Amino acid sequence: MEKFILGIESSCDDTSAAVISNTKILANVTANQDIHREFGGVVPELASRAHQQNIVPVVDAALKKSGISSNQLSAIAFTSGPGLMGSLLVGTSFAKSMAMALNIPLIEVNHMQAHILAHFIENEGMETPPFPFLCLTVSGGHTQIVKVNDHFEYELLGETIDDAAGEAFDKAAKIMGLPYPGGPLIDKYAQLGDASKFSFNKPRMDEYNFSFSGLKTSILYYLQKEVKTNPNFVEENLNDLCASIQRTIMEILFDKLEKASADTGIKHIAIAGGVSANSALRKGLKERENTLGWKSYIPSFEFCTDNGAMIAVSGYFKFLKQNFSEIDVLAQARKKLNAE
């Protein structure tokens, strides 16, 4: 039976809403917040205010684009965490109010689970991974290797103990004077540079865990030293610096992912999160299909960054289990992967 789910995402600085019919997208609308570029990073208070301005027109646009009226909705799914508390509260409050007004079920969604479940959206060119598979989830706030046994059964094999890969990209870009968000710019310039030109320290971590704080410090100290000798060092070597930084981050990620695959025997490998849009990460996965016998699953670009479609599809699978939320459900800035 056809179910129409409205998904609302407001965990950070993107306000997004999507309408799906089962797992097929009818509309996926996102409003970005450019104001944070002025500050070199997301300002939580400004983000929550922008969500308040954006959420009504974004939801309205998604419904109009889908051709579905609000009275046809089967349920409303929303991000309850993890994320910025002010941003989460806007989406949570709106979803509660709308669900009450329409007298339909309310479904809370874990943001990190939703990134993984984005692989189950019906979309041309995207293949659904079979269970179990490994998912490397990489974003500005999280870096995790997850063994996915079912839509809602996960084993967290490893995660960052400090900074995430996406944060390492953005902070390295900021050190070099690039505007926010710097990760995509490093990827862009890296394709023009020599990835073996510079070397940076890589952490030694147990098992499948990550650390990126030491890498950021290594980049900072190296550039400070070189700029003292040559004030134009960064500008003259920007492409090579970006290529070398990106190579180092990819080596850290793939070292752990290869170990997890070898130890578990799982060769179905997926990526998710904002950094999964990175060209080097996508290329590295495809190369390992030949060298390691992996089968890789890479989401379309629109499902890498935060989006309402991943929340909606997560809501659909929860709807099938009748896993609904009470009206007193709370937003949570910190939320474990398996928390329902």
Identify the weakest region by mean pLDDT among 26-40, 68-82, 174-188.
26-40
Assess whether pLDDT exceeds 70 at residue 244.
Answer: yes
> Does the pLDDT of residue 39 top 80, yes or no?
no
C-alpha angle 332-338-340 in degrees, rounded to nearest 5: 60
Helix 165-175 with 183-190: angle, nearest 10 deg: 80
Of 35-49, 127-141, 281-295, least confident by mean pLDDT is 35-49
Q: What is the pLDDT of residues 64-108, one digit of tens each?
A: 999 999 999 999 999 999 999 999 999 999 999 999 999 999 999
Q: Quick one: what percent of the chain has pLDDT higher than 90?
A: 88
- The residue-averaged pLDDT of 203-212 equals 93
pLDDT (tens digit per residue) in 43-53 = 888 999 999 99
Contact yes or no for 257/230 (Cβ under 8 A): no
- 64 backbone dihedrals φ, ψ, rounded to 5°: -65, -45
